[in-house]
Amino acid sequence: MMAREQHLLLTRAVASEGPRRPVPGRLRARLHRHRRWLVPLLAVLLLAQMAAAMVTTAVQQTPTIDEPVYVATATDYLHEHRIRYNPEHPPLGKLLIAAGVAVADPHYDPSYTGTQGDVGRHLLYESGNDPWRVMLWARLPVIVLTLLFGLVAFAFARDLTGTAGGLVALALYVFSPDLIAHGSLATLDVPTAGFVLTSAWLVWRARRRPGLCLPLAGAALGAAVATKMSALPAVPVLSVLAAASVLVARRGADPHRPEPRSPLAGPAGTRPREAPSLSAHADTAGPRPGTVLSALVGAPGDRRRAVLSALAGAVAVAVVAVAVVWGAYLAVDPGLRFSPAEPVPALHGLRGRLVDLLPVPDAYRAGMRVQFGLEDYPWQGYLFGHLYTGSLWYYLPAALLVKTPLGLLALGAAGAVTLVAVRRLRPAAPYVLLPPGVLLAAAMTGSRDFGTRYALFVPMFLAVAAACVPRPGRRWTAAATAALVLFAAGSSLRTFPYYLPYSNEAFGGPARTHRLLHDSNVDWGQDLGRLADLLRQRHKGERVWLVYKGSGVPSYYGIRAADPRTVPPERVHGLLVVSDSALAKARGRLAELVAGSRPAGDVGHSISLFRR
């Protein structure tokens, strides 16, 4: 009887306390309350990590092969306001670099004559300037732009899958070794790819607000084309997608989709919506399938107006893009004068006629002629230990397999399949998959197998596609996504600060990349300063023989070395230092010298040391 009364008392006490919420529920509620500041905080932390990695890399690396050309051209823009050097690339990217060069304010001699490479070397090493300071300031605008493109990847993925998906895309973006490596250089590859990504995102958002987004998409596309001509194949692709977005907008598609808003905060005066979890897509992931076709169904007058509106949207994007190209040249020289420092090759046949028809400045057409001339040159390539002359159509896909983190490869491929397979996401598939697919196909036809820098748009779009992997009702997809993101982040952090020679774990990591690839994949001349430090600290007073491939000047950094290929092999004794790009192509005398030496270490996984 007493035991029964005690049981009743305990039961009433528990009942009076009410039901207890499980710990995960409390955690979820707490995260929801703090979401307003938690998401921006995570985004800032991810971007801060990338910024730290890029600035560290920019401070430690000497000029790569292409950078002195771009920096000298940017300096010439500032001082002489003329299109003279580097016509094979339009001026916009170099104008961005010029913003940093203007702060460095290097001494420049406009009367110096020579090739664009000679002018770059003269500016950095022969004019009394500090190349470390000039290069850092020249690289900073590209670093800032790379970080901003990270926000674009976040916003694009967030529009498709929600805030959690946006954070997945941002994490994969900021830990991409290729984006860190080339985003920390005063080059044009990351800006071009980022502008294409921005244009694709804006064309997608034009399904809701075409009047605002299509002109901005055209401006971003024009910025890409005004930075590198390799972005030209994206113009027809994004113009067609713009027409599709206009058709969807006319039908008032996506009735359940929320209004576009800032990627980091809710609309002013309203509470932010609850962020979807990694395990579920928002119901508003995209428009219902068939909306483009449904826009063409109806009375003949409606169909005619729909077609005309779609054509107007496509033309608007293309016209704005062309206007941006003209604006870039006018910003350098309002008189549009063109006096190339080096001869421009003639271009005949169909290619020549097509170039002449383009509505762009004469200097742009001349740059295209230079590009086609470079394509006709018999370049040497190196892939998986094989040296060849010409090009391999599969070079870029193979190089991307080597240099992309396995986590990003897996999630990007799964995300691409999900975009096509899942009905809610299928309308977004052309916007995420077509631009990088067409650009990659075009790049695969090129003759210069020099590196994945020609396809940096691939990791950018893969990061966006990866956000589509988590599926509603399937928690294992969220866990798998989180694990692969962490794996990609760990792989990136392990290669710090040697991002340029990165390769993933399946191919042996950065120490083995030079056995598989060459040039800007591994050794672009970036480690001359590190070599000088090593020689001072560990090999002081030793005889040094150097075969260096790059734009740096070894003597400026205190390296006293001779070229071993200019003397008989029996006279070469001491420390033999060879750039890995030169080592990949070693034949004849150099191959004989390396074969008769024993390995003695490396510098930055890009320069090999041998003892003779």
Q: Which of 514, 415, 499 is closest to 50 using CA atoms?
A: 499
The 10s digit of each residue's pLDDT in 198-257 is: 999 999 999 999 999 999 999 999 999 999 999 999 999 999 999 999 999 987 644 434
Percent of the chain with pLDDT over 70: 86
Residue 339 buriedness (CB in 10 A; 0-12 / 13-18 / 19+): exposed
The 10s digit of each residue's pLDDT in 496-552 is: 999 999 999 999 999 999 999 999 999 999 999 999 999 999 998 899 999 999 999
Q: Which residue has the higher pLDDT, 31 or 245?
A: 245
Q: Which residue has the higher pLDDT, 28 or 40?
A: 40
415-418: Cβ within 8 A, 24+ apart: 415/462, 415/464, 415/465, 415/466, 415/467, 415/468, 415/469, 416/462, 416/465, 418/465, 418/468, 418/469, 418/471
User: DSSP letters of 499-537?
Assistant: -TT---GGGT-GGGGGGT--GGGT-SSTTHHHHHHHHHH
- Local confidence band at 31 (pLDDT 50, 70, 90 cut-offs): low
Q: Which residue has the higher pLDDT, 300 or 201?
A: 201
Average of pLDDT values for 157-164? 94
The 10s digit of each residue's pLDDT in 267-297 is: 333 433 433 333 333 333 344 444 555 555 5
Q: What pLDDT is stored for residue 299 in this prediction? A: 60
User: DSSP letters of 437-501?
Assistant: HHHHHHHHT-S----GGGGTHHHHHHHHHHTT--BTTBHHHHHHHHHHHHHHHHHHHHHTT--TT
Q: What pLDDT is stored for residue 477 in this prediction? A: 86
Average pLDDT, the chain: 88
User: Which amino acid, residue 373?
Assistant: G
- Local confidence band at 37 (pLDDT 50, 70, 90 cut-offs): confident
Length of the chain (residues) = 612
Map 129-151 to HEC letters: CCHHHHHHHHHHHHHHHHHHHHH
Q: What pLDDT is stored for residue 293 in this prediction? A: 54
Average of pLDDT values for 401-426? 96
Q: What pLDDT is stored for residue 375 in this prediction? A: 87
Interatomic CA distance for residues 560 and 543, integer angstroms: 9
Interatomic CA distance for residues 443 and 393, integer angstroms: 9
Average of pLDDT values for 457-468? 97
Q: What pLDDT is stored for residue 251 in this prediction? A: 78
Residue 327 has pLDDT above 80, yes or no: yes
| pTM, 2 dp | 0.88
Residue 457 has pLDDT above 90, yes or no: yes
The 10s digit of each residue's pLDDT in 39-84 is: 899 999 999 999 999 999 999 999 999 999 999 999 999 999 999 9
Q: In what order do the strands lie in the sheet with 575-579?
A: 544-547, 575-579, 607-611, 598-603
Residue 579 near residue 544, CB atoms below 8 Å: no
Token pair of 163 as six digits: 């805030």
Average of pLDDT values for 596-610? 94
Instruction: Give me the residues paired with residue 83 across strands.
Output: 338
Token pair of 566 as six digits: 């200019």
Q: What pLDDT is stored for residue 29 in this prediction? A: 62
Q: Which of 535, 580, 582 is closest to 554 using CA atoms?
A: 535
Q: What pLDDT is stored for residue 400 in this prediction? A: 97
Average of pLDDT values for 79-96? 95
Q: What pLDDT is stored for residue 300 in this prediction? A: 65
Interatomic CA distance for residues 97 and 74, integer angstroms: 6
Which residue, chain included where needed, has tokens 């004794």? 573
Residue 258 has pLDDT above 70, yes or no: no
Q: Is the dihedral of CA 548, 553, 555, 559 positive or negative?
A: negative
Q: What pLDDT is stored for residue 410 in this prediction? A: 97
